[in-house]
Structure 1
Amino acid sequence: MIPRRLVMSAFGSYAGREEIDFSQAGPGIFLVTGDTGAGKTTIFDAITYALYDQASGGRRDGRMMRSQYAAEDTPTFVEFSFQYKGQDYRIMRSPEYERASKRRGKDGERKRTLERSAVTLFLPDGTEYPGKKAETNRKIVEIIGLDAGQFTQTVMIAQGEFLKLLSARSDERKEIFSRIFQTDLYARMQQRLREEAGALGGQMKDMERQEDQEMARLFCPEEESLLGRLESAALPEERLEAVRLILQYGKSREEAAKRQIGELDKELEKVNRDLAVAQELNRRFDYLEEARKGRAALLENASAVEERQRRLERSREARLVCETFKKREEAGRQKALLEKGIRETAEKIRQAGQQKKELVKSQETALLEEQRCRKEYQVLIGQITQVTDQAARLAGSRAALQKWESQEEAAKDRKKSLEELRKRLPLLRKEETKRDICAQAFEKSRRDYQQAADAYLACNDAFLQAQAGILAKDLREGVACPVCGSFNHPAPAPLPDRAPDQAEVKAARKRRDEAEKEKDRRQQQLLEAGQHCAACLQGLLTEGKNVVGEAFSFEGEGPEPILDREETIRERELQECRRKKEESREQVRQWEELEKKRQSLTEEQAACYARQEEQQKKAALAGDRLRLLEQTVSQAEGEKKARQAQKEQAEAQEEALALEAQKALAVSSFETEDQCRGSLLTEEEKEELEKSQEAYRQKCIEADARVKTLEEQLEGKQPVETQGLTEQKAGLDERRQAAEQEQRRWYSKNENNKDVREHLKKIYEKNRKLKERCARLRLLDQTAGGSLPGRPKIDFESYVQRRYFQQIITFANRRLEAMTGGNFILRCRSMEQLGNRGSVGLDLDVYSLDTGKIRDVRTLSGGESFMAALAMALGMADVISRSAGGIQMKAMFVDEGFGSLDDYSREQAIGVLSELAGSDRMIGIISHVTELKESIDRQLVVTKTKKGSHVRWKH
């Protein structure tokens, strides 16, 4: 991964938009320098945040990322462009933060709104990756090949992090490696082995409890031999044999009970057979007695049956006579209905005549009203035509009014724009004055810096000349020069009369540095003032051309006369628009009055036409109703004649049926018509009497047949005494029930014991397998957990991490030897030297190449610790890159720590980093050490101001 460009907007200590072009750094080492708190580390926080949605320190709060110096309308985002494997990628990411709403509330104030976090990834072909936020984050990790933790250990190396790795205890180092190399898989394997071993131990205890439960469930007869055999059984095989003998004894007792039940069943079968024959004979004698009693009871009801039969016969006779009565009555009802219909038809004819007179009068009135409406309609048509012609002449007045109103508003806007443009001219003069003041201040600071720099160079040259004179004064011919080694000294440097000392040189250099800082500050102020002035000038020029036209310019006579002429023109234009608008408004008023009058006449015309049509409909409706009424009268008269004829026929039929009814009553057994009607039965009564008679006859037949059959079956036989047989059967039943209970009891016990024996077999077999597996798992658990007796306490995860640790130390020592000049190297403590208390395996020692002795890493000095920690961090970066699939990161950033080194160690460390960078790698160092500023040409300078920080390249 090679950084190309970084843009930060309102991020961290940067108030506005800051852009860093990393192509200006090129391959090799560059320095990130600036005051404390200026925002040096924030640059690398922004890179990490763009890639992984978190800063290099792990903070994720968007409110913490947004700059406190930013304006409300400045958005917070980071844009990072980089190249990976020859492909260019670009990421834009913004955090969640609060900002002022673009809209104002009812009170005129802007409320706070929440800006949601977002991320966009642009692929090498320029297209946007289509995934959501989580998918985009995973895609970036897939492209880079490193997660956030690995990235911060290989690319963003913070001083506190790699010093922590150097001085950490074995257990602390284990946590760090677990996070970086993701070795928690092996810890989970350890935990899994421990859990499985514990689970197997629990299963074995469960098997023991199950065995005790099964033995408690076993039924053992009160036999001394069986009890003793069971109590003495210690091994599983002995217990199973004792259970088998108990089961065998129970089977024998069960079979004995079965045999006794069989013998009793044979005796019961004979007794039951004899008792059944006797009981059946006695039941038949009882049935005969009951049948005789039932037949006698039926004979006692004979008189009531005869009475019911007589009622049925009189009902049949009365029904025949009453049929003639019904016919006579029906003829009378028919005659009465016809008389009623004749009266109703006559009334209908009378009402129709009255309605006819009213309809004729209504029709005549409607025709007269229709003629009057037609005349009024013709008059309205003429009035509407006259008003429409007048309104047409004023129809364009509304459009003209809108046109002049629009032109008036446009003229007002142009005049207002001219006024606003004139108000902004003093702001430009103010910015120009401020720019001129900054230019004068910068020129003065530049001259001061040049004087301080010349003074420093003169002082430093005089100091160096003095050093050469001091060395040359002791030279002798034939004696080697301590500088070049020559034995001849043809032109030794003279010793000056007055030479500055080292303190004076440092003071001159300090004055030069302070003057340089002042010059840079003044230059930045001049640059900002010039940018503001140019932006203001460009804004005014653009706005002026938009308002006035291309004639607007700050050259020649200047903008003020141009604005004066333009304002005069616009004022005349505004007055003309207002005059035309008033004329159009009067015409619109006249046109609106005519339109209202036309609308009123049109509505009156429509109402007149509606009344005319309504009267036409009334006249037509009256004519239709007259025709229908005449048809109705004609039909009613015909209906009246038909009903009169039907009435005469009904009267003749009624007289004939009355004579027929008198004759039928005379020949019947009834004296009066009421007596005849009283003998009638309903259908339900008739059906009930018939059913009762039929049921009585059937019962008599069945009773005679039952008595006759039983008398024939029992002829010559007598009832039998059954008490002796019953008592014998009860005794046998009691004995059989006792034998059956004994058989069931032993069957239940035997089935229980059989079940216990099968369960014990399964328990013993499962317990045997569990013991074998548990022994293997306990050994694996102790090995993986580092708890084997007499062995170092190094667990499986630490053992795997130890291999990574040894690789890190190998890579680290290659660079550490170069940094220290072969003074010491790092060593991973050997297995023989590890203790058996606490977590071990990742312990670090220092081996002195000079003395051959080993000492604790915590005995290193501050500078030695920094070099060792830096070497460890570089070694870890190498191992992580290899473990991540040979990923080659072409960029690395180291944060602070060089201040603790002496000049020699610092030069060695820089040399190692330069060698690591080579010709294709970029390494950035964050530091405020003055010597690094002087030795590293390419510098990214971070300047802190009261309104936020700024960055710039310095070569």
Structure 2
Amino acid sequence: MRLHRLQITAFGPFGDHRSVDFDALSAAGLFLLHGPTGAGKTSVLDAVCYALYGAVPGARQGMTLRSDHAPPATPTEVVLELTVAGRRLELTRRPPWERPKKRGTGTTVEKAVSLLRAHDPASGTWKDLSRSHQEIGEEITHLLGMSREQFCQVVLLPQGDFARFLRADAEARGRLLGRLFDTHRFAEVEKHLAERRRATEARVREEDAALLADAHRMQQAADGGMDLPDLTPGEPGLADAVLTAAAVARSTAREQLAVARIRLETAERAHADAEHGLESVRERVRLQRRFAEARERAARLAERAGAHREDETRMERGRKAQTVAPALELRDSAETAHRRATDAEARVRDLLPERYAGEGAAGLAAAARRAAEELGGLDAARRAEQRLAGLHDERADADRQERADAEALEEAEAWLAGWESTRAGLQERIESAQDAAARAEQLAARREPAQARLTAARRRDRLTRDADDAHARARASGEHALAAKGHWLELKEQRLAGIAAELAAHLTDGAPCAVCGSADHPAPARRAAGHVDRDAEESALAAHQRADEQRAEDEGRLGTVREALAAATAEAGDAPTDRLAEEAAELDRLCTAARRDAAALHPAREELRAAEQEHERRLADRRRAEVRAASRHTRRDALDREQTALEEQLARARGDAGTVAARAAHLERTTALLTDAADAARAAEESAARLKDADGRLAEAAFRAGFDTPRQAAAALLDDTAHRELQRRLDAWQSEETAVRTVLAEAETAAAAAQPPADPATAEAAAAAAARHARDAASARDAADRRCTALDRLSARAAEATRRQGPLREEHDRVARLASLAAGTAADNERRMRLESYVLAARLEQVAAAASVRLQRMSSGRYTLVHSDDRTGRGRSGLGLHVVDAWTGRERDTATLSGGETFFASLALALGLADVVTDESGGAGLDTLFIDEGFGSLDDQTLDEVLDVLDSLRERDRSVGIVSHVADLRRRIHAQLEVVKGRAGSTLRQRGV
């Protein structure tokens, strides 16, 4: 990747349009980006990162990109022209910005814009490739082969981050390397294996729990006659123990079943004998009772013999009278019909006019025909009268429609008069809601970074207090360690002063002296008061070592807290926490208010749509009302002419009546009365003839049946109820007499009656006892059978579960071994190194090798970076980083480097990391690098060596931009980009190109 041209407009401290020609700066291979503090050196690098990825580096995310010095109408824009992967591209980025409205007052928010163009060498023109933020981000990431975080670490080399990397522990190094080399997939493998282990373990435990539950069910089925194994789910041997206990329980249950079957057979035979005896006793009781009841029924029949003969006589007369019944019914029916016809004729004749009183049936029928003929002539007049009434209704309906149309037309005119103002108001509401939506989006983009800065500020305040506490503890432990060391040295000196007495204490007569070798000891030294021996010295030495370890631990803790404080301060800045909290709260309030205002957009649009539909409906109603008004005048004239003709026709048809309907009603009533009277007269004459004929037939039928008069026949006649009751009594007598004779004639019944009375109570008690014993035996047999069945079923299920568990347990053991190995907890993993740490260790080894090439040159061959996978304390190994000092030949921790040494070591590490990440990302060439600050800590000789190393980067066709305000660099590097700070914003100057 090589940068060619950068254009900045209204971005950061640059209020107007500024341009950077990187081709001219890169020609020398090494160029300097300098300027006073706060001028905007870092903003140039932010613009490069924003053009590529649409976001600034992580530590400055959330800050406002738009320049406070820019005119309101000037858009914020960054344009970057570069060559990557052999293609010349141009990237244009515009963040959301608030501009004045083109019409009216106020502001509106312009949406973010992104544009990617490619240069066509054949035509010499630029071709648009994409305007999508997401597509452009994916394309740049693909071409560069690195994410934004990797780009900020590899191309924009932040020396402070790598200085912390040198002093960080293995966990912090792992986080940085994980982001750069994208090793999360190995962490996902560890996580996946751990999840698989938990899943298989849960399944094994679940299967064991189910097996143990079946064992409990078998114990319940065996009525406690089964001992369960004292094992928990997941422990080995549980399945074998359960199957063994189940086999013992099944054998015991089968023996109990055989005993229960023998007892049941014996009880059933005794019960059958008792039941047979009970049935014999019950049968004798029944026969004796049956004979006694038959004797009682025969006596009752003898008492009712006279009444039975009377019923038979009455039944015989009733059968004879039944032959006369049809004639009696015919005569009664004829008499009833004649009486009704006579009454009806009298009622109808009372309603006739007096002139028809003496007319017979023929005369009344003729008068009815004449009235009907006159009524038929009034049909046309009645239709004309009905039409006239309809005309009045039509006239009234037309008047109502006219009034309704007038009101509707007036309402439509009033509504349409205010349409323009209504539409303008709704349009204004929609625009206001759209502005609120854009404002809400902009505020939401600012709110999350503000919250992040607030969180970092609170962490900064807490770490400030922790740093003070850690500093106090470190100072106290240092003083204590110094005092312990002094005490130890003092005791050591005292012991050395009295060492002769200590040696003399071990002299033995005749044995040579350990110092002079003489066997004579004429004057051995004596111990003085307060003599210090070896134990006291070693105790003081141990106290000194403990104090020194405590001092080192406190200083390490202080360094960790200061590192965290520096990171929190870099993220939060110097702004007070209270002010950041107020800003975050204000952003929350503004964002909530903007979203609340934006929520009115949809209702306003719906209301405008409804109003437009109402406008169209009002216009249509007005047009329809005007058309109906024109057609009503023509219709009213036609109705007037038709009404005049109908009134003349009705005047002729009414005659003396008030209306044609009244005249027709009178004729209808007269016709109906005459017709009814004629019909009633004919019916009366016919009914009288039928009554006379019925009297003759009745007298003849009574004589033939043997009755002197029809009255006697009627008296002997039985109705249905009396006949059924009489027949029922005769049939009951006959049935009872037959049944009594049958019972008394039975030989078995008579023989039973001759025997002594039976005793059923004793037989029933014996049968009940036998049945109870049989039921108990059957229950015991069934329980034993169910016990065997349940144990067989549960044992088969347990055996199947055990067979099914085999592959599952093998899978769990295999997955558990792999998960422990990948997590670094397995005994086989001697260095307790996780899989991700193993991969990162290989990358760190590559980085250390690449960095050592430059570090040896910067340090004149003194220092070399080496990777170490030794374990530290009880922790895990894999990400250690040491420096080898060629002057001493010793390997020591990178945290012991001085400030200047730390700078060029971190610079070498950053350059080495850039080479490794570039190769890891696919080998995309990085022709332009930026190094941010840190050169002020170097002496002149080291600075020359560092610049020589940076200048050697041109061997890989690279250009390096150094961001620094060190004055000496301006004399050493001729190609310069100066950032000049002013009241109206910063400007850019290129020199030496």
Determine the C-alpha separation between the residues in 1 that align with 2:10 and 2:145.
29
Distance 1:650 1:355, change over 3 A: closer
Shift of residue 13 of structure 1?
A: 1.4
User: For 1:913-935, what per-residue CA distance to the aligned partner results, in whole angstroms no more than 9, with x for missing partners?
Assistant: 23323474332221222332233
Task: Give 3-state SS (helix, strand or coil) of 2:72's partner.
Answer: coil
Tell me, yes or no, if the aligned pair for 2:204 and 2:809 is still in contact at 8 Å: yes
- 1:23-34 pair list within 5 angstroms: 23-27=23-27, 28-34=29-35
Contact 2:823 2:833 in 1 (8 A): yes
Aligned pairs (5 A) from 1:270-349 = 318-327=332-341
Q: CA deviation at 1:868?
A: 1.6
The residue number in structure 2 matching 1:658 is 684
1:817 to 856, 877, 882: 856
Distance 1:126 1:285, change over 3 A: farther
Cα displacement (A) at 1:257: 1.8
Q: CA deviation at 1:97?
A: 5.5
Match for residue 253 of structure 1?
Answer: 256
Where in structure 2 are the equivalents of 1:723-742 lying within 5 Å?
A: 723=761, 725-742=763-780
CA distance in 1, matches of 2:383, 2:257: 115
Change (3 A) 1:307 1:48: farther
Does the 8 Å contact 2:371/2:671 carry over to 1?
A: no
Counterpart Cα distance in 1 of 2:668 and 2:213: 110
Q: What's the TM-score, normalizing by structure 2?
A: 0.57
Counterpart secondary structure, 2:981: strand
Q: Is 1:867 the counterpart of 2:893 in the alignment? A: no
Displacement after TM superposition at 1:876 (Å): 0.8
- Structure-2 separation of matches of 1:796 and 1:214: 41
Cα 1:780–1:669, aligned 2, differ >3 Å: closer, same or farther? same
1:43 aligns with 2:37: no
**CA–CA distance in 2 between the matches of 1:643 and 1:175?**
115
Instruction: Identify if the C-alpha distance between structure 1 residues 32 and 221 changes in structure 2 by more than 3 Å, giving closer, same or farther.
Output: closer
Q: 1:744 aligns with which of 773, 778, 782?
A: 782
Is 1:626 aligned with 2:648? Answer: yes
Conservation of the 8 A alpha-carbon contact between 2:13 and 2:40: yes
Give unpaired runs (5+ residues) of structure 1: 361-602, 671-688
Residue identity in the other structure for 1:731: A
8 Å CA contact 2:334, 2:691 repeated in 1: no
Select which of 777, 782, 806 maps to 2:845.
Answer: 806
Larger CA deviation: 190-199 vs 240-249: 190-199
Q: Select between 630-639 and 68-77 the one with higher mean Cα deviation.
A: 630-639
Distance in 2 of aligned mates of 1:208 and 1:350? 106
Query: CA shift at 1:844, angstroms?
Result: 1.9
Question: In the TM superposition, what are the counterparts of 1:303-702 in structure 2 within 5 Å?
Answer: 318-327=332-341, 618-627=640-649, 651-662=677-688
Contact between 2:381 and 2:653, CA under 8 Å: does it hold in 1?
no
Aligned match of 1:85: 85
Distance 2:950 2:99 in 1: 43
Matched residues in 2 for 1:51 and 1:725: separation?
A: 111
Contact 2:953 2:959 in 1 (8 A): no
Contact 2:6 2:21 in 1 (8 A): yes
Over residues 823-850 of structure 1, what are the superposed CA-to-partner deviations in whole Å (9 max), with x where a residue is unaligned?
3221123x5x544433432222222345
Deviates more, 1:93-102 or 1:199-208: 199-208
Q: Report the Cα distance in structure 1 between the residues aligned to 2:985 and 2:108, rounded to whole angstroms.
A: 24
* Residue number in structure 1 paired with 2:936: 899
| More off after superposition, 267-276 vs 304-313 | 304-313
What secondary structure does 2:42 align onto? helix
- The CA deviation at 1:937 is 2.9
Q: Do the aligned partners of residues 162 and 322 (structure 1) sit closer, same or farther apart at CA in structure 2, a change above 3 Å counting?
A: same
The residue that corresponds to 1:12 in the other structure is 12
Does the CA-based 8 Å contact 2:384-2:646 persist in structure 1? no
Assess, with a 3 A threshold, how the Cα gap between structure 1 residues 890 and 329 changes in structure 2: closer, same or farther: farther
What CA distance in whole angstroms lies between the structure 2 residues aligned with 1:820 and 1:356? 130
* Matched-pair identity in %: 25
Change (3 A) 1:170 1:638: closer
Residue of structure 2 aligned with 1:889, choices 926, 931, 937: 926
Are the aligned partners of 1:47 and 1:80 in contact in 2 as well (CA < 8 Å)? yes
CA shift for structure 1 position 858 = 2.7
The answer (yes or no) to whether the contact 2:298–2:740 under 8 Å persists in 1 is no
User: Structure 1 residues 625, 34: closer, same or farther in 2, change over 3 A?
Assistant: same
* Secondary structure of residue in 2 paired with 1:946: coil
Q: Are 1:52 and 2:33 matched, yes or no?
A: no
8 Å contact kept, 1:792–1:835:
no
Q: Distance in 2 between matches of 1:239 and 1:646?
A: 107
Q: Distance in 2 between matches of 1:147 and 1:290?
A: 119
Aligned to 1:497: none
Q: Which amino acid aligns with 1:951?
A: L
Which residue of the partner structure matches residue 476 of structure 1?
none
* Bigger shift: residues 83-92 or 249-258: 83-92
Distance in 1, matches of 2:923 and 2:186, equals: 23
Deviates more, 1:639-648 or 1:326-335: 639-648
| 2:859 aligned partner, one-letter code | T
Task: State the Cα distance separating 1:640 from its structure 2 match.
Answer: 8.8
Deviation at 1:198?
6.3
* 28-37 or 647-656, which deviates more: 647-656
Letter in 2 for 1:737: R
CA 1:69–1:273 in 2, change beyond 3 Å: closer, same or farther?
A: farther
Residues of 2 paired with 1:616 and 1:211: CA distance?
101
Aligned partners of 2:338 and 2:691 also within 8 Å: no
Output the amino acid matched with 2:648.
Answer: L
Q: How does 1:144-183 map to 2 (within 5 A)?
A: 144-183=144-183
CA distance in 2, matches of 1:693, 1:136: 113
Is 1:856 matched with 2:893?
Answer: yes
Do the aligned residues in 1 keep the contact of 2:167 with 2:894 (CA within 8 Å)? yes
Aligned to 2:247: 244
Length, aligned pairs only: 680
Q: 1:329 to 1:175 in 2, by over 3 A?
A: same
Question: Counterpart of 1:68?
Answer: 68
Going from structure 1 to structure 2, the CA distance change for 1:332 and 1:902 (only over 3 Å counts) comes to: farther
Task: Quickly say closer, same or farther: Cα 1:658–1:240, change in 2 above 3 A.
Answer: closer
Retained in 1: the 8 A contact 2:183–2:836?
yes
Give the conservation status (yes or no) of the 8 Å contact 1:45–1:57.
no
* Alignment check: 8 A CA contact 1:792 1:836 kept: no
Q: Which position in structure 2 is the counterpart of 1:952? A: 989
TM-superposed deviation, 1:873: 0.8
Cα distance in 1 for residues equivalent to 2:179 and 2:96: 27
Q: 1:932 to 1:702 in 2, by over 3 A?
A: farther
Take 2:118 and 2:679, find their aligned partners in 1: how far apart are those partners?
114
What is the distance in 2 between the residues matched to 1:951 and 1:646? 123
Does structure 2 retain, via aligned residues, the 8 Å contact 1:339–1:647?
A: no
Task: Report the 3-state secondary structure (helix = DSSP H, G, I; strand = E; otherwise coil) of the residue aligned with 1:127.
Answer: strand
| Structure 2 unaligned residues grouped into runs of 5+ | 120-125, 231-236, 355-367, 389-625, 697-718
RMSD (Å) for aligned C-alpha atoms = 5.6
- For residues 685-719 of structure 1, what are the alpha-carbon distances to aligned partners after superposition, in whole Å with 9 as ceiling and x for unaligned? xxxx8699679868976995697479658841427
Partner of 2:611: none
